[in-house]
Every structure is written in C-alpha cells, then in structure tokens.
Amino acid sequence: MNDLLSLFILRSTGTNVNTNTNTTATDTDNDKISPHQQQQHSQQLVVDTSSSWDYLSLRDLYQLKCVSKATYESLEWVEYNRCRDGKDYLVPFPGYPGVLSTPSDVKFGAGLFPHQLSSLRAMHRAENHNTHFGALRGGILGDAPGLGKTITMLSLIANTAGCKPQTPKEFYDDASIAEHWKLMRTNPVFRVEILKALQPFRNNGYILQNTYDEMAIYVSPPYTDDRFPTLGSFEQYVHTTMRNRASQAQLDLFRRNVMAFKAGLDKRNRRFFNNDKGKRMLFERNLIPCSSTVVIVPDALLEHWADQIRRHVNLGVFVDPNYFDRNKYNNFHSYNGNGNGEGAGGGEVRSEERPKNGVVYIDGVGDLSTARFPLNHQQIPLPSSYDLMSYTIVVVPFSRIRQHYVAMQKRRREEETMATYRASEDASAHYNSPLLQLRWFRIVVDEGHEVGEHAAGSDVTKFINQMGAERRWVMSGTPTTGDEDSPKFTAKGLDQLQRLLLFLRRETYGTTISQFDGKNNSSWSDTALREGNKWTAKSAWDKHVKKPFLNKQEDGRKELYRVLDEVMIMHKKEDLSLPKPIFKQSQIDILVPPDIQSAIIDIVHSTAESDTITDALRKIGIAHHEQRLRPALTEGGSILFDALIDEYLRTDGFQALVDEGQANFIIDVIRKEQLALEDRGGAIIGSVNAPITAATQLEFCSKNWVDRRPFKAVVYSNSHKYLLSVAEYLYAAFDNENIAEMIEGKIEQMSYELGRFRHNFKEGKDCPICGGWNEFTGKKLASCNNRLVEVFYDGKTFLIEPERIKRAVGPAEFRSLGDRMQKIMYGSPVEMDRLDGAPLSKYNVSHLHWRVGDVLCIDTRDPHPLLRKRWSEEQWAKYGSVRCMELAAEYAFEGQDNYFGPLPVDETEVIVRLTKWQPCGRFHSRPRWDARRCKNIGWYTGPNLQDVEMREQREDTFLLLLDARLSHGLDLSFVTHMFLLEPIDDAALLEQVTSRAHRLGCTGPVTIDTLNVWHEMDSTTKGVAKKLSSSVQDETKKRTSTSVCEHCYRSFETLELAEAHELTCERNPDGNAKVDPFHLSSVYRDIRPPAPMLVGGPSDDGDKGVIQLDGVS
Ligand SMILES: [Zn+2]
Ligand SMILES: [Zn+2]
C-alpha cells in the first residue's frame, strides 16, 4: 500500500520525478501489486481521480525504476502503451493495462493513435471533472466512423478496471441504521421483517427446509443474548450458513432483501429524498454496486466487440486469482495468465470446453475465454446479477434489452390484472432483469444515436434509461441522424441531442426523475416516465437552446455549443490521412429480350383491335397493367413507347435479368482481381490467420506499395430480395465456402457468418470412423452426422461413403446388366426423371431422391484417391464388430447396426443394391442398456467423435452478402471491394457505408463500385425510339459519368460538377465554403478535438487545440 501511496505522491509532483522520491517510498515487498491483485487493490483504494494532476509521462514512468524495488516491481505489472508515433505522452494512472498487448499486437508493434490518446484524456476528464453523486460523468464519444472508438473505449475501461462506483456519504445513514437495529434486536415485532428477508430459502426442498427451519428459529428476534450486534453480523451469519446449500440466485435474492431491509431502517427525513437526485439515490442504493462496465451494442456488432476484445485486450491482466467458476470447472490453475494469447491460428491442443477466466462476458456466448471463433451464439439466458458483477466487461446486444423490457412489461400487466396479487409479498421472487439489479460502474451504448432516434423512446431506450450506473457513455460517429440537406435536419437533430442528454442525465437538460418508487424497488412505472421532470428537462432545452437556435439567435447557438463542447468528444475523419476510397460507377447493360422489343414495337405501330393488344401486352408480361396503360395506348407515339418500356423495366422478368447481369459483373471483377493479385505475388495473410485490422501496423500506400491484401468483397443492397436473387448466381459460380451472408437478422447467424468472412476458417472435427467432417456450430459434437450408405453385393452388406456412388443405374443400363444381377439378387432401376432433371450421375448429391432397392454403380477401390483407407477386420474385431454382426443378424440387417469395415471387392465399377442409409454415428453406436426394450443395444467400443480434438479448417471466404439494415457500425476495414447493387444518392448514407471499410486500420484504398444498370436495345428498336424521340432511351441518362465528392460524399452528375463543388465543399479543409452558422452541422464543426497529452504540449487544464495526426502517415 505504501508504494501505491508513493506513486500518488509521484503523480502530484508532475513531470519532475527523480531519485529523491526514494525517501517517500518504503521498501516493503508485501504490498506490491501483481496484475492479479491489482483489481482487488483498486477496489479497496479510494482512488481520488478528481483532479487533473494524476498524469505521468511515459518517460517519468520508465524512470520510476530507481524509486524503490517494490514500486519498480509494481510498475512492471502496470502496463503502459507507447503511442504508435513514439512520442512521449501523459498517461492517466494506471494507464491502459492489457490493451493492445496481446501477442499479435506486440508482434505488430501496436499502440494507440495520438487522436485516441487525446480522446482518452478528454474522457478521463469527463468522468472525473465532477464526482459528486448524480453528476454527469461521461458523455458522447463522437469520433467519426472508423476512427477506432471501440479500442478507445476499451482503453478507458482498462484504465478503471476494478474501480467501484462511489457510495456517497448520504447513501446510508449508518448511525441511524445501527440505532434502529439495536431497537429491533429486542423487539419481537421485527420477526416478520427478518423472515421476509429469509424468504428465498423457504420451501426449497427437504434438505434446505431443515436448515432453514433451524436457522429461522435462531435468527428470530428478540435476541436475549449477544447474538447479532449489527445488521452486518446477521447477514454474515445467514450467508455462511446457506452458502453451500442454497443456489447463487437464492443468495442474491437474500442479499437484495437485506439491502431493502437496511433501507427501511434508515429513517431519515423524507424531504431529503424528495427531489430528483434524492429519489434516484433512494432507488440506486438498493442496487448492488459493481465494478463492471456493461456495453450495450446493436446485434450486428456483438461479434465485432467480442473479436476486438479477444484480439486486442490481454485478459490475463485482469484475472482475479480467486475467481473460478463454481458451477462447472475448477481448473483455474491450468490457465496460465496468458489471456487470449492463443490468437486465431494457434495449433495448440484445444478441448471443447476451456476454463473461464471471469473477465469478459459476452451475452449468448458466455465467458469470452471459452468462446470460439467464428462466434457461436446460442440462446442462453443471461446469468444472475451476481455472476455478471464478477466480470470486468459485460457485452449485451439490443435484442436482449428488448426481450427483458418486453418481459417486464408483460409481468407488470399481469400484476395489474391480478388485483389480489401483492407484488410486495413475493417481490424478490418474481422476474427482474439482472441488468437492473446492479449499479454498474459504467454503461456504454454503442451506436448510441439509437437512444435519441425515437421521440417516444424505443423499448431499448426505455430500458437503458432505467439502468443504474455511475458513468454513462454514448458511442456514435453520427449522434444525430438524417439527411443534412433536409430543412428539418437541425430541428430533428436538436430533439435527438436532448434525448441523449436524458440518457446521460445531464443537469438541467437531461435530468429525469427515477422511474422507481423508493419503497417498492421492483415496481416498474411507465407513468412516472411519461410525467415528471423528463418534460421539465425538455422544455428547458426547447426554451434555452432549440427555439433560439432555430430562430437564429446567437444566445441559442452559444448555449448549444457550450453543452455540446462539454459532453462531446469528437475527431473528424478529414483530419486523418487514411487512404482515400476509390469510387467507381460501373455500367451494366442489360439487353431487353428481342421478342419483348418487337412486341413493344408491334403495339406502338399497331392499329389493331384491343384483344391483339392484350395479347402483345401479355407477351411483355404487363397485361395486368392494361388499365393503367390505357391513356398511353390512346395517345400512342413516344408516350406509348416510353410507357411500355417503363412498365417492362419494372417486371420481375426484367429484374431477374438485372440480377443475373449484376451477378455476372461481380463474378467477372472478382476473377480478374484474383488473377491480378496472383500476378502481384499473391495475398499476404497475417500470421494471426486474419486480415490486419485496426490496431496493427499500418503500411499506407506509398508509391512503391504493392497491394497484396487478401481480396475481400462485400455485395451491399438495401433490398433483401435482390440480394438473395443475386446470391443465387454467385453460389453457382463459387463454392459455398467462398460466401458469407448477413442477410437475415438472427444474431447467432450474423456473428457466425461475419466471423467466417473475417477469419477464413471454420472449426469442427474429423470423424475417426469415416473421416467425414463435422462442423462445430455451437452444439456439442457427440456423434458423427455424416450419412453413410449401406449396400448389398455378393452376399455381403457393407457401408460406403456417398462419394463412392458413381451413378444410379437407369432402365437401359439395368436391362443390360445380365449376369451381374445375380450378385445383388434383386433391385430396381432408377427412373431417368427421378432427380428432377439432373443426370443419374448426380445421384449422390442429395439423399432426398434415394429409395431402398435402387441399383447403383459404385467405386470400391481401397485406397481410393480421395477417401480414407479402411481399417482392417482385425482392428474392427477389437472394436466389437463381432457383436455388431450378431446384432445385425438378429434383425436380418433391418436394424441400425453395421460397421465401416473393409470393402469386399476392389474395383472401379461395382453394381450394388441400396439397402439403407443413416448417419455414421447411428451405425456405430456405443453399447448401452435400452430400458424401453429391456436389452443391450449398440456395440462400438473404438474411438468416436467425442475422442478427437477440434481442428480448424481453412476456408476461403472472400464474399460477404450484406443487407443494408445490418451493416451499421460494422468494422470491415479488411475489405478491398464493395459492390453497391443500387446507387446511393444520400451522402450521409454513402459515407456510412463507405466507412465500414474506409476506416482506421484499412491498409489500402477500398473500391466502392456502384453497379448502375442500363437497358440496352437492338439497333432497330433504337431507330424506332429515335424517330419517336423517346426519352426512356436517352443515352445521356446513363450514370457512368456520375462523380462523388471526396469530402462530403455527395453525388454529382458529372466529374466537372463534382470538382466545382469540391472547391466550396464545407468539409474540404482547403475549400472556401460559406457555412450557415445555424445549421447543426456547423456547431459540430466548431467543436475542436481535445488536446493531445503530449509532454510540453498545451497546458493541462482542458484546453482544446489542434491535434497532430501524423501518427498514421
Ligand atoms: Zn463418421
Ligand atoms: Zn463535398
């Protein structure tokens, strides 16, 4: 402890650390901090981080080795990261332990970027500027998309790991509580209260009941002897008694009950709690304080967070050596403190279940140290609040929040309808989200603009606003959403900002009354939400900010700027020298089918009766729109021609051609790019098996830079339907393993698919019996699922892999079999149309067309060029094949037993009869007792799937099909190409999409290729169109010449227009733009990035200045 104190003294001496400090340090070894102890130490310490002097420069820290042995050794455990530009920065104590220090990070020389360090200092200030209870501690981390907000936030979390939210002095009046406890010790009336606290242990099975009864008698007041002098001693006694008998959940509930009880003993002036802050305090003091940060993320980002933490945080630094998972494993000691050091590609032995280390919990996945990648998300409930609070980081997706909100609403309605049901009676037992039982150290909402988006508040927002926490952060590169050019943008944006302030609980513009009544802490009141100070805060905002700002009054702008400058920390992308994206406008000409063209011309030239017209319309596929076309039909000429073309272009028939054309274009580009990459020497894949991302070494494009990034393409569309249709063609051109999909919104599916795309591998097991691959998708791999086929030949019934089936025997071949029929006794040919038009050689592709008795031609070579050599009969005898054959004979080969033994012949073409098929594991089942049939079944004693290790199988997944709705916030910095299936004219949206790949960590330019479609016609039709001076066929409407502004992503019709615009573009740092000061974006623009922590830089009292961003050049 002394050494820590000396460290604090060092901090206050600022940058002048020297050996003199030696005198303040005592050389005791017993107080040094190991990383394991660090967490507990910091929990015990009241670390006063309220002032700005708690910075040391890196150089100071390195010099500390001369201070004292113990301090030096302590500091060895505290990790500091150099900024990647190598300059000396000030770092808040205790630095960012664990972040960017995984083996691969160290190997690639990772470090924070200067702008991240400056954000971190500003965030540290925002959390410690005001530290009294209820103060705004947090804000909006608004760095532009792609500037590494995740790593910044993880660094902040690491910085405070182990700290607990402070308990304000007024939280409990200990003297009053002690006094009341003294009174109640001798008062039999309090018996009821005590028993109520014990309620969770009641009626819970025979063994528990005895213990409970004994205990209940012992702890019932009045106490005539000296037992339980304090409330704490009572709680301790019950806890010790029940610890090994009751479940964790029961213990949790008991502790909550004691808290409620304690609150009841605190009889202070009600007036003290009668204001906003008091009410919230009343509510929050019944929550369990914990040192965890909960990160709430859109579903699509769960994988991203898990991946970033695993990749860039050395979890070993945070491990609590006392932690072990009580429920399942006790193998903590096998954990070597190496955190997630296995990286993605380690070849080390893995078991299916790894030890938990209790540092990061990913909802739906579990302890991160046991997680597998690609992430296997499962439908598992969130653990109890007590399990959650032992983690440093808990990551929860929006869908979970929504689910809990709905569950609680439902619960509330039930309680309301059951008038007789008294919630208080059973309050502790009913469902309450564990997320609401904790007073979190910090809440972080990623893509937090969601919180401000809906006026009425989405389910997610309503829930999040209830959660108790000391510090609150919104992460969003776009805190206000919408089209900047829209006239309503500013008004809407101001409303959104106010709702963010509400979440942050900023004084005046965002304070809200607690939605909980202090007494009945489990009741959930929406009425309180609708009424109360939420509206006071809103009207204050409207009065002092929104109205004056919209009225273009300077006061409003000043106030808005003041508030935003206080809560927002932002860097803009313009400041970083990222490789610029390359915008391409590709033209895909789709030929309108000639018969459609002539049908259109026929109608235009026709003077015929209406039923011939209907016929022609039917040919085009637009007969059902005849009514709509009526006016054009009467008009004739170019109007009719244009209308017909227009109608046709909207048909499913034409869309199918478009999908095919776009798919072919994409396939073409991919093949060309892959060849070109081979010519450049092939892709360089990082040793960690995955593409280089955000925090690894940047090799920015210099003149002689050779682009050897692995080719990774995204096909992006806002239409689910088109995406699926294009996908069909892509699947036909490439293998399934080449393509990942984020089309459906299921979280487990998304995480898994994104992981495949990112990592290029999948995990699974090879069956030791048949050699077949069994993919791991989250379910335990117990039994081989590969289908084996049982066939009959020459008196023998044996198993083959479906791959050995060369073809099914059709009627003609069947007739010519002659003598060979004798070997299979009987059987029937396979009709030529059995396989839905596919040739009989495709028989093995799907078992759906198989029938018992089919005659097949198979290849029985062993060894087979592609398949595993069979085990010998001797080997099989050891594993029980004799017993297998007994069982098979017993059922006349109609049962499930058989074995994958040697083949009876060794020929390339053998005619056999199909007798049955089933998964390999069922043929080879373990001997066991079947209670239903009262007999022994199964026989196989050799190794099966459970006995082999999981392994990785490389996959080349270079294509991701991405639905626009799921793309928000994704880190696709390793992507080299994006294909947009439809043009994006909304500049903000285009920036969003581009930022998926164009972001910190991208190691080269990303090509954004917009696939514009044009309908092409024959020259005769074109001639007709020209004669009619049709506008539909006006070639100048082709979009190939469209150009995008590099700064603001607005689209222009020609390159010239775009260039002209760029000169006055508001976001062009070298331009001469005229800016409207009363547009919200201009206020954002005025907010300066926070100053860097560079030693000798601007003074440390929160000055903001221009930040140097040379770290990335
Ligand atoms: Zn198998
Ligand atoms: Zn522009």
- Beta bridge partners, 29, equal none
Among all bound ligands, the one having the nearest atom to the CA of 919 is 1
Among all bound ligands, the one having the nearest atom to the CA of 1048 is 2
Q: What percent of the chain has pLDDT over 90?
A: 28
Query: What confidence score (pLDDT) does residue 971 get?
Result: 81
Q: Is the pLDDT of residue 594 over 80?
A: yes
Query: What confidence score (pLDDT) does residue 3 get?
Result: 41
Give 271's pLDDT tier (boundaries 50, 70, 90).
Answer: low
Q: Is the pLDDT of residue 334 over 50?
A: no
Q: What is the mean pLDDT of residues 602-606?
A: 83
Q: What is the mean pLDDT of residues 786-808?
A: 94
- Mean pLDDT (the chain) is 78
Q: Is the pLDDT of residue 373 over 80?
A: no
Q: How many Å lie between the centroid of ligand 1 and the Cα of residue 805?
A: 17
Q: How many Å lie between the centroid of ligand 2 and the Cα of residue 452?
A: 27
Q: How many Å lie between the centroid of ligand 2 and the Cα of residue 1046?
A: 6
Q: How many Å lie between the centroid of ligand 1 and the Cα of residue 942?
A: 12
Query: What confidence score (pLDDT) does residue 268 get?
Result: 64
Q: How many Å lie between the centroid of ligand 2 and the Cα of residue 1052?
A: 10
Among all bound ligands, the one having the nearest atom to the CA of 1047 is 2
Q: Is the pLDDT of residue 354 over 60?
A: no
Among all bound ligands, the one having the nearest atom to the CA of 923 is 1
Q: How many Å lie between the centroid of ligand 1 and the Cα of residue 767?
A: 5
Number of helices and strands in the chain (H, E): 39, 29
Q: Where are the strands (E) in 216-335, listed by range?
A: 288-289, 293-297
Q: How many Å lie between the centroid of ligand 2 and the Cα of residue 223?
A: 79
Q: How many Å lie between the centroid of ligand 2 and the Cα of residue 1047?
A: 5
- Indicate the range of 31-40, 700-709, 794-803 predicted with least confidence: 31-40
Among all bound ligands, the one having the nearest atom to the CA of 1044 is 2
Query: What confidence score (pLDDT) does residue 939 get?
Result: 94
Query: What confidence score (pLDDT) does residue 448 get?
Result: 84
What's the Cα-to-Cα distance from 917 to each of 350, 852, 922, 944, rounded to whole Å? 32, 9, 10, 19
Distance CA 639, CA 1031 (A): 9
Q: What is the mean pLDDT of residues 857-877?
A: 92
Distance CA 870, CA 906 (A): 12
Is 446 in contact with 968 (CB distance < 8 Å)? no
Q: How many Å lie between the centroid of ligand 2 and the Cα of residue 1071?
A: 10
Q: How many Å lie between the centroid of ligand 1 and the Cα of residue 639?
A: 67
CA 536 to chain centre: 36
Q: Is the pLDDT of residue 692 over 70?
A: no
Alpha helices in 129-275 (DSSP H): 149-159, 174-185, 191-198, 206-219, 231-242, 248-265
Q: How many Å lie between the centroid of ligand 1 and the Cα of residue 950?
A: 15
Query: What confidence score (pLDDT) does residue 627 get?
Result: 84
Among all bound ligands, the one having the nearest atom to the CA of 1060 is 2
Distance CA 630, CA 695 (A): 63
Distance CA 34, CA 31 (A): 9
Distance CA 743, CA 754 (A): 11
Q: Is the pLDDT of residue 306 over 60?
A: yes
Higher pLDDT among residues 171 and 587, named by residue: 587
Is 506 in contact with 475 (CB distance < 8 Å)? no
Give 1104's pLDDT tier (boundaries 50, 70, 90).
Answer: very low
Query: What confidence score (pLDDT) does residue 743 get?
Result: 85
Q: How many Å lie between the centroid of ligand 2 and the Cα of residue 144?
A: 16
DSSP string, 452-471: HH-SS--HHHHHHHH-EEEE
Higher pLDDT among residues 52 and 483, named by residue: 483
Among all bound ligands, the one having the nearest atom to the CA of 784 is 1
Give 329's pLDDT tier (boundaries 50, 70, 90).
Answer: very low
Is 742 in contact with 961 (CB distance < 8 Å)? yes
3-state secondary structure of 362: strand
Query: What confidence score (pLDDT) does residue 69 get?
Result: 58
381-407 per-position pLDDT tens digit: 898 887 888 899 999 999 999 999 998
- Indicate the range of 191-205, 660-674, 931-945, 981-995 predicted with least confidence: 191-205
Q: Is the pLDDT of residue 133 over 60?
A: yes
CA 64 to chain centre: 40
DSSP string, 904-925: S---S-EEEEEEEEEEHHHHTP
Q: How many Å lie between the centroid of ligand 1 and the Cα of residue 735?
A: 23
Query: What confidence score (pLDDT) does residue 386 get?
Result: 79
Among all bound ligands, the one having the nearest atom to the CA of 1061 is 2
Higher pLDDT among residues 169 and 1063, named by residue: 1063
Query: What confidence score (pLDDT) does residue 168 get?
Result: 66
Q: What is the mean pLDDT of residues 751-758?
A: 83
- Most confidently modeled of 100-114, 167-181, 839-853, 987-1001? 839-853
Among all bound ligands, the one having the nearest atom to the CA of 574 is 2
Query: What confidence score (pLDDT) does residue 531 get?
Result: 46
Q: How many Å lie between the centroid of ligand 1 and the Cα of residue 886?
A: 21
Query: What confidence score (pLDDT) does residue 269 get?
Result: 57
Q: What percent of the chain has pLDDT over 70?
A: 77
Query: What confidence score (pLDDT) does residue 40 get?
Result: 36
Q: How many Å lie between the centroid of ligand 2 and the Cα of residue 992?
A: 15
Among all bound ligands, the one having the nearest atom to the CA of 1066 is 2
Q: How many Å lie between the centroid of ligand 1 and the Cα of residue 957?
A: 26
Q: How many Å lie between the centroid of ligand 2 and the Cα of residue 1073?
A: 10
Among all bound ligands, the one having the nearest atom to the CA of 1049 is 2
Higher pLDDT among residues 338 and 1066, named by residue: 1066
Q: What DSSP state is assigned to residue 20?
A: G
Query: What confidence score (pLDDT) does residue 423 get?
Result: 41
Q: How many Å lie between the centroid of ligand 2 and the Cα of residue 581?
A: 14
Q: Is the pLDDT of residue 510 over 60?
A: yes
Higher pLDDT among residues 168 and 66, named by residue: 168
- Residue 386 has a CB neighbour count (10 Å cut-off) of 19
Give 62's pLDDT tier (boundaries 50, 70, 90).
Answer: low
636-650 per-position pLDDT tens digit: 888 888 889 989 999
Query: What confidence score (pLDDT) does residue 309 get?
Result: 93
Higher pLDDT among residues 159 and 473, named by residue: 473
Query: What confidence score (pLDDT) does residue 904 get?
Result: 93
Give 1037's pLDDT tier (boundaries 50, 70, 90).
Answer: confident
User: 997: Cβ–Cβ under 8 A, 6 or more apart, which residues?
Assistant: 581, 714, 972, 973, 974, 975, 976, 978, 1006
Q: Is the pLDDT of residue 351 over 60?
A: no
Query: What confidence score (pLDDT) does residue 355 get?
Result: 64
Q: What is the mean pLDDT of residues 21-42?
A: 34
Among all bound ligands, the one having the nearest atom to the CA of 767 is 1
Q: How many Å lie between the centroid of ligand 2 and the Cα of residue 893?
A: 76
User: 666: Cβ–Cβ under 8 A, 6 or more apart, which residues?
Assistant: 713, 715, 726, 730, 979, 1011
Q: How many Å lie between the centroid of ligand 2 and the Cα of residue 1060?
A: 10
Q: How many Å lie between the centroid of ligand 2 and the Cα of residue 200?
A: 63
Q: Is the pLDDT of residue 30 over 50?
A: no
Query: What confidence score (pLDDT) does residue 230 get?
Result: 87
Q: How many Å lie between the centroid of ligand 1 and the Cα of residue 1?
A: 60
Query: What confidence score (pLDDT) does residue 930 get?
Result: 86
The neighbourhood of ligand 1, an ion, using CB within 5 A, equals: 767, 769-770, 772, 784, 786, 920
Q: How many Å lie between the centroid of ligand 2 and the Cα of residue 684?
A: 35
Give 21's pLDDT tier (boundaries 50, 70, 90).
Answer: very low
Among all bound ligands, the one having the nearest atom to the CA of 940 is 1
Q: How many Å lie between the centroid of ligand 2 and the Cα of residue 562?
A: 27
Among all bound ligands, the one having the nearest atom to the CA of 788 is 1
Q: How many Å lie between the centroid of ligand 2 and the Cα of residue 573?
A: 14
Nearest to 804 by CA among 819, 793, 812, 815: 793
Among all bound ligands, the one having the nearest atom to the CA of 1058 is 2
Q: What is the mean pLDDT of residues 285-301?
A: 88
Q: How many Å lie between the centroid of ligand 2 and the Cα of residue 1079?
A: 16
Among all bound ligands, the one having the nearest atom to the CA of 1051 is 2
Side-chain half-sphere exposure of 740, counting CA atoms within 13 A: 26
924-960 per-position pLDDT tens digit: 999 998 888 888 889 999 999 999 988 888 888 999 9
